[in-house]
Amino acid sequence: MSRLKQQNGSALVYILIAVALLAALTATFMDSSSQQVTSQRAVNTVSEIKSQASLIQSSIQECVLTYPAGDTTYTPANNQVIPYPLNPDATHMLNPKPSGNKEVQFLRCPGNPGNSNDHAKIFGGKSGKFLPPPPALFQPWKYVNYAGTVYFWTSTDKTDSFILSSLKKLDDQYSECEADIIDAKSANVALDEDNQAICPSGSYCFRIHMVTPSAGGWYKGDTDADEADCSTRD
């Protein structure tokens, strides 16, 4: 009987060891799987933002190159860059969006036609170019043309751990002064010296510059300060 108890006890020890090993392997597998999912989400985020930014850039440049004279009926009131699209809420245009609405999806080409304030839409059925929904976890792209500068940006208030690292990887794919990351996690951050746009409190913003003035504080909020001297470059 004593030997039987010893055998049963030994078997129980082996079972407990096996259970512990299985639990450890399961935890390791789950941790590895979680890291892979996070890594894949980061890759997808970078790819999606870069793809949409490229579409926006090329669509705006197509308008500018196709209609270099812009809208011949328009006289810039605040040094807007001609012939780049005006802000979607610009009152010069026929049926502008409500004040404050600067979403890229509503951009119009000021040279199409060139002698009218009824600018043709850049994105939509007639143009044949469609802007996809904003990248996952991000807000719709917005646009500013004001005081000699043109830029567009997106923002996110999500707290997923991979977001900031993804934006940093994305920033590295652009030349200096072309893109920057704005950290507004603690408070609103003005994106320029004239407060034309705000990166809202609790958010990260990613901005693409298309035209920059040779002077002025148009790189406010730049997270890593690598664009510190951009506003002084020609």
**pLDDT band at 9; cut points 50, 70, 90:** low
Question: Once rounded to an integer, what is the mean pLDDT over residues 23-43?
Answer: 61
**If you average pLDDT over every residue of the chain, what do you get?**
84
Model confidence pLDDT, tens digit, residues 157-212: 999 989 999 999 999 999 888 999 999 999 999 988 778 899 999 999 999 999 98
HSE, CB side, 13 Å, CA atoms: give it for residue 79: 8
45 versus 5: the higher-pLDDT residue is 45
Does 49 fall in a domain?
yes
Token pair for 32: 């590895």
Contact assessment for residue 153 and residue 180, using Cβ atoms and an 8 Å cutoff: no
Question: The tokens of 232 are what?
Answer: 């002084």
User: Which residues form the domain of 223?
Assistant: 39-232
Q: Is the pLDDT of residue 234 over 50?
A: no
Share of the chain above pLDDT 70, in %: 75
155: nearest Cα among 198, 210, 217: 198
Q: State yes or no: pLDDT of 146 exceeds 70.
A: yes
Work out the number of other CB atoms within 10 angstroms of the CB of residue 201.
12
pLDDT digits (tens, 9 = 90+) for 10-30: 666 667 666 666 665 555 544
Q: Cα(80)–Cα(96) distance, rounded to whole angstroms?
A: 16
Domain assignment of residue 5, yes or no: no
Q: How confident is the model at residue 36 (pLDDT cuts 50, 70, 90)?
A: low
Question: How do residues 66-92 score in pLDDT, each as one tens digit?
Answer: 999 999 999 998 889 999 999 999 999
The pLDDT value recorded for residue 221 is: 56
Strand partners, 199: 189
At residue 41 the predicted structure's pLDDT band, cuts being 50, 70 and 90, is confident
Please tell me the distance from the alpha carbon of residue 1 to that of residue 206, in angstroms, as a whole number. 74
Q: Which long-range contacts (CB under 8 A, 24 or more apart) does 212-215 make?
A: 212/149, 212/151, 212/177, 213/147, 213/148, 213/149
Residue 61 has a pLDDT of: 96
Structural domain contains residue 23: no
In this prediction, residue 193 carries a pLDDT of 79
pLDDT at 4: 47
Rounded (5°) CA angle 161-162-168: 125
29 residue type, one letter: F
Residue 119 · residue 112 · CB < 8 Å: yes
Retrieve residue 147's tokens: 């005081």
Query: Is 198 within a domain?
Result: yes
Contact indicator for 198, 233 with CB cutoff of 8 Å: no
69 located within any domain: yes
Indicate whether 6 belongs to any domain: no
What is the length of the chain? Answer: 234
Between vectors from CA 159 to CA 156 and to CA 165, what angle results, nearest 5°? 80
34 falls within a domain: no
Position with higher pLDDT, 3 vs 224: 224
Count of the separate structural domains present in the chain: 1
**Which residues on adjacent β-strands are paired with residue 187?**
none
Mean pLDDT, residues 211-226: 63
In a domain, 4, yes or no: no
Global model pTM greater than 0.75: yes
Whole-number CA gyration radius for the chain: 26
Partners of 129 in beta bridges: 124
The Cα 150–Cα 220 span in angstroms is 15
Q: What is the pLDDT of residue 134?
A: 95
